[in-house]
Amino acid sequence: MATYTIPVLQKSIAVLRLIAEGGGNTTMKAMERTLGVPHSTMYRLVQTLVLEDWVRQVEGGRYELSFGLLPLLQPLVRHELLIETVREPMQMLSRETGLTTKLSVRQGHFDITIFRAESPRSASVHVKMGGAFPLVIGASGAVLLSSLADAARQRIIDAAPPECWKFQTRANVARRIRQVLRTGACADAGSYRPTIFAISAPLHDRSQSVIAAVTAIGFREDFAGEELRTHQKLVMETAARCSKLLQGAMPAVAEVAARRR
C-alpha cells in the first residue's frame, strides 16, 4: 500500500533527530554516513535548518539544536511544568487507591496522556504515556469535553469514528458530561474496554478553566461496593489539591524552570 509521505521531510526530521541525540557533537560527515545522504543534499538540508534557526553550527564543524525551536516546544514545556506541579499528589493517589492514575489533556479531538503514576499492585491496568483516545471515550474524555461550548462539543461527538460506539451510545457520553458538570467528577464503566473502570475529575487553572483531567483506572472489581465512593472521593480531593497547587504555583513553577536551565 502506498504511503503518503514526503521523503525530503523525512530526511530533515532524521537530521534533527541525529543532531538532538548528538548533543552538539554531530558533524556533517557523520550525518551523511548514518543516513546515506549525498554531501550536496545534506548540505542543503542543514543550511535550510540553520536559516530557520532550528540548528546552529558550533566549533569544530559540529551542529546542535538552536533556540529557534523554542516557540514550537512551548506547549510541551507547559505540560512538563504542569506534571512537575502535580506529580506528588498523583503518586499519592495511586498509593491510596492501589490504582493506576493518569493526567490527560485535550489535543484537538483527542485525550492525550501526559503523565501516569503506576499502581503499587502487581496486577493493574497499564496506561501508555502519550496514548491518544477520542474524547468521546472514557471518563477523562468527558471531563475535557465538559469545558467546551455545546456546538464545539457536538462537532467532536459527531466526528468520532465508528469504533467509539462499540460499547457505548451518544447518550452515555452525554450522561458522563452532565455528571461532571453536576458533581465535579464522573465514572465510566467500560466504554472503551468492558473490563476497565475509571473515575475522573477536572484540574482547573487560575481562571477556573479545565486544563486537564485526573483519572484513576482499574478493573471493574476494583470499584465494587464502597470502593466506588471511596475512589471517587479521593480522585476529587486529588484534583482539587492539584488545582490549588497549580493556581498558586507560579513561584514553584519558576523554580522548576530555573533548575532545568
Extract the C-alpha cell encoding 180. 461532571
The SS3 of residue 203 is strand
- Domains 7-65 and 72-252 belong to one CATH topology: no
Polymer length in residues for the chain: 261
Burial class (CB in 10 A: 0-12, 13-18, 19+), 31: buried
Phi and psi (nearest 5°) for 198?
Answer: -150, 150
Place of cell 472514557: 138
The helix (H) or strand (E) run that includes residue 215 is strand 210-219
Q: Where are the alpha helices (DSSP H) in the chain?
A: 7-22, 28-35, 39-51, 70-97, 138-146, 150-159, 170-183, 226-247, 250-260
Q: Is 113 left (phi over 0), alpha (psi -120 to 50) or beta?
A: beta
pLDDT digits 0-9 by tens, 69-97: 877 776 766 788 888 889 999 999 999 99
Q: Report the side by side order of strands in the sheet with 132-134.
A: 132-134, 110-117, 100-107, 210-219, 196-204, 186-189
Q: Which CATH class is domain 72-252?
A: alpha beta
The SS3 of residue 119 is coil
Residue 50: the pLDDT is: 94
Extract the C-alpha cell encoding 52. 530557520
The model's pTM: 0.71
Q: What is the CATH number of domain 7-65?
A: 1.10.10.10
pLDDT tens for the chain, 261 residues long, are: 456 788 889 999 999 999 999 888 899 999 999 999 999 999 999 999 999 999 999 988 899 999 888 777 767 667 888 888 899 999 999 999 999 999 999 999 999 999 999 999 888 888 888 889 999 999 999 999 999 999 999 999 999 999 999 999 999 999 999 999 999 999 998 887 888 999 999 999 888 899 999 999 999 899 988 999 999 999 999 999 999 998 875 444 344 444 434
Extract the C-alpha cell encoding 210. 479545565
The ranges assigned to domains in the chain are 7-65, 72-252
**Interior/surface letters 178-203, b for 16+ CB within 10 angstroms, e for the rest:** ebbeeebbbbbbebbeeebbbbbbbb
